[in-house]
């Protein structure tokens, strides 16, 4: 997966986490991934092995090149518009949204702080680790982190929930891979009618960090649980995400 992170307006963390999960669900259920579709064999081989996801980041021309490759772009929620930063009213510089100096440089107008952009995630059919396209191989993978401008709201009615382990600290890129895993395990758990209904609704889901008390209850359940192999950031066999979908009958008891 590749997440778009522009200098001027990166996405909010939770939006990126939720969008990465929906991106995985979208490619799993896409007609090109099924039957005799052009991605079907690659998807089958990938799902028959240990599933692994790599999240890289791109902006500008790098993002545009990534979107020319076979795949699907999934867009998250729009979180707001640009707002003036009154504290920087005396600033003599500015940007034009690309990180470069704007033509208005040298004025005393208040600068503009971009609100988080809607998350954009491009998901690609799986390839071997040594078979990445040249357009993606140079994209950075480490250090992808994001913030939420405010605490996420309540979980929408009828949505699946991907609960994050409250005791683990992971970068946004790492966590995006984990929520993708959580969504995939939940998809595998659902019967065909529930899958079809979820897809028709646009895969409503939420990513939230569980309280320690809730996490203890979830770990004692038979819900889909993600255990990380420990290649990066966290110890092997760490439990990262537990997936719950009460509306579809997948809930802690």
| Per-residue buried b or exposed e for 4-22, using 16+ beta carbons within 10 Å of the residue's own CB | bbbebbbbbbbbbbbbbbb
pLDDT class for 110, splitting at 50, 70, 90?
very low
Of the pLDDT bands very low, low, confident and very high (cuts 50, 70, 90), residue 229 is: confident
Question: How many structural domains are present in the chain?
Answer: 2
Rounded-to-integer distance, Cα 225 and Cα 241, Å: 6
* 190 belongs to a structural domain: yes
Same domain membership, residue 216 and residue 157: yes
Q: Which of 180, 153, 204 is nearest to 16 (CA)?
A: 180
Do 70 and 189 fall into the same domain?
yes
pLDDT tens column, 131-161: 888 999 889 877 678 999 999 999 999 999 9
The mean-pLDDT minimum among 114-118, 216-220, 232-236 falls in 114-118
Q: Are residues 54 and 99 in the same domain?
A: no
Domain that holds residue 96: 81-114
- What is the Cα–Cα distance from 87 to 78, expressed in whole angstroms? 25
> Does a structural domain hold residue 19?
yes
Q: How many CB atoms sit inside 10 A of residue 216's CB?
A: 10
- Same domain for 158 and 216, yes or no, is yes
Q: In this predicted model, what pLDDT tens digit does every residue of 175-225 receive, in sequence order?
A: 999 999 999 999 999 999 999 999 999 999 999 999 999 999 999 999 999
Say if 205 falls within a structural domain: yes
* pLDDT average, residue stretch 12-36: 97
| Residue 194 belongs to some domain of the structure | yes
pTM of the model: 0.83
Same domain, 231 and 108: no
pLDDT at 143: 65
CATH number of the domain at 37, please. 3.40.1490.10
Residue 214 CB-half CA count within 13 A: 15
Say whether pLDDT at 249 is over 90: yes
């Amino acid at each position: 997966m590749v997440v778009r992170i522009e200098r001027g307006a990166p996405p909010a963390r939770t939006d990126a986490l939720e969008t990465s999960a929906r991106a995985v669900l979208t490619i799993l259920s896409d007609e090109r991934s099924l039957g005799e579709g052009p991605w079907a064999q690659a998807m089958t081989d990938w799902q028959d092995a240990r599933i692994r996801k790599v999240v890289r980041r791109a902006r500008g021309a790098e993002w545009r090149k990534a979107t020319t490759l076979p795949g699907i772009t999934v867009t998250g929620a729009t979180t707001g518009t640009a707002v003036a930063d009154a504290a920087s009213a005396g600033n003599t510089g500015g940007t034009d949204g690309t990180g470069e100096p704007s033509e208005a440089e040298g004025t005393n107008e208040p600068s503009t702080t971009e609100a988080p952009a809607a998350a954009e995630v491009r998901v690609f059919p799986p390839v071997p680790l040594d078979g990445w396209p040249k357009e993606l191989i140079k994209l950075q993978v480490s250090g992808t982190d994001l913030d939420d401008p405010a605490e996420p709201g309540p979980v929408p009615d009828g949505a699946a929930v991907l609960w994050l382990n409250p005791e683990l600290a992971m970068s946004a890129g790492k966590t995006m891979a984990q929520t993708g895993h959580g969504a995939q395990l939940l998809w595998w758990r659902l019967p065909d009618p529930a899958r079809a209904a979820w897809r028709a609704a646009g895969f409503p889901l939420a990513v939230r960090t569980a309280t320690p008390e809730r996490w203890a209850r979830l770990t004692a359940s038979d819900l889909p649980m993600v255990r990380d192999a420990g290649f990066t950031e966290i110890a092997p066999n760490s439990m990262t995400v537990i997936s719950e979908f009460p509306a579809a009958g997948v809930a802690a008891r």
